[in-house]
Structure 1
Amino acid sequence: MTDLELAKQKLNSDALAFVIVKDGAILRTGTRDGIGELIETIDALGDATRGAVLADKIAGKAVAMVARIAGIRAVFSPLMSQAACDALAADQIAFEYDRRVPLILNKRNDGPCPMERLTQTLDDPRAAVDALREFVRARTLRSSG
């Protein structure tokens, strides 16, 4: 079984938000919606993510930019935006999806997901991830204050 097959299987069987696999071993799984836990995980794992694969429940451009920063070599998602495909292709990162959509929508389905909107005009992965970190930090402060 390839790393990507293992990541897909684990994502689907355990109803997870994301799975990171490298060299046949599951490095980390996530359960929270949104991009925050994925960014925390990438930060915690450091260089261990170089050459790993990622399976994520929903992959928009934000997830693609995090994958680029982390050195991920392949990404799978049941639902992937065109912007994610384009961002991954820009770094020759392999990707697979069950369904491709023009845009990841917000929870009300009446506009773009906030993370998709935030990264829409950003082509530099470092700038995109910095903006995402700030977004997550501000959201966390609002919800705790």
Structure 2
Amino acid sequence: MLTTNELHNDLKYAARKLGEGWSVVAVRKGMVLAKGEGRRLMPALMLLHELRGEDLERDQVPCVLADKVLGLAAFRLASLLGARAVYGELVSRLAVQEAGRRGIPIVWHRLVPAIMNARQDGLCPMEHLAFRAGSDFEFYRALKERR
């Protein structure tokens, strides 16, 4: 169990790690559990696989997760990981709404209405997939089918 003070400290620490150039970081009690680099959703997905396995066969990992871009898709992966609080440099309102519904603290540097696609003319495909999914596991299954 992570205390409120530990969550707060871990959120600040994880945010600093993003500032060092990482795309995604999982932290617990002041220690980096895993981190990743890359673009889009892949770093968060790889971090989830590293800590829980590709079939999510290992237990959830109580931690704080920080991601450069935290939309609903990344939030769902963080939830599957076991994140008790999340930070994003850029966060979508969909992620904030879902975090609020679940009672998971979420902190951001910049809040946007939605994570957009590369052309900026529609919703990011992963955000759309996450929105349509009825659960985190349903989203994860749909994501795996796309790979």
Name the TM-score class by shorter chain: 0.7 to 0.9
Larger deviation, residues 67-76 vs 118-127:
118-127
Q: Which residue of 1 aligns with 2:34?
A: 28
Q: How high is the TM-score relative to the length of structure 1?
A: 0.85
One-letter amino acid of the counterpart of residue 10, structure 1: K
For structure 2, the 5+ residue unaligned runs are 1-7, 53-57
Q: What RMSD in Å do the two structures reach over aligned CA positions?
A: 1.7
Q: Please give the alpha-carbon distance, in whole angstroms, between the structure 2 residues aligned to 1:114 and 1:2.
A: 33
Q: Which residue of 2 aligns with 1:10?
A: 17
Q: Which residue of 1 aligns with 2:84?
A: 73
Contact 1:68 1:88 in 2 (8 A): no
Q: Please give the alpha-carbon distance, in whole angstroms, between the structure 2 residues aligned to 1:103 and 1:114.
A: 11
1:131 aligned onto 2:142: yes
For structure 1, the 5+ residue unaligned runs are 138-145
Q: Which runs of 4+ in 1 moved over 4 A?
A: none
Contact 2:71 2:91 in 1 (8 A): yes
Q: How high is the TM-score relative to the length of structure 2?
A: 0.84
Q: Provide the secondary structure at the position in 2 that maps to 1:2.
A: helix
**Shift, 1:87, TM fit:** 1.8
Q: Which residue of 1 aligns with 2:61?
A: 50
Sequence identity (%): 33
Q: Which residue of 1 aligns with 2:113?
A: 102
Q: Please give the alpha-carbon distance, in whole angstroms, between the structure 1 residues aligned to 2:113 and 2:71.
A: 10
One-letter amino acid of the counterpart of residue 88, structure 1: A
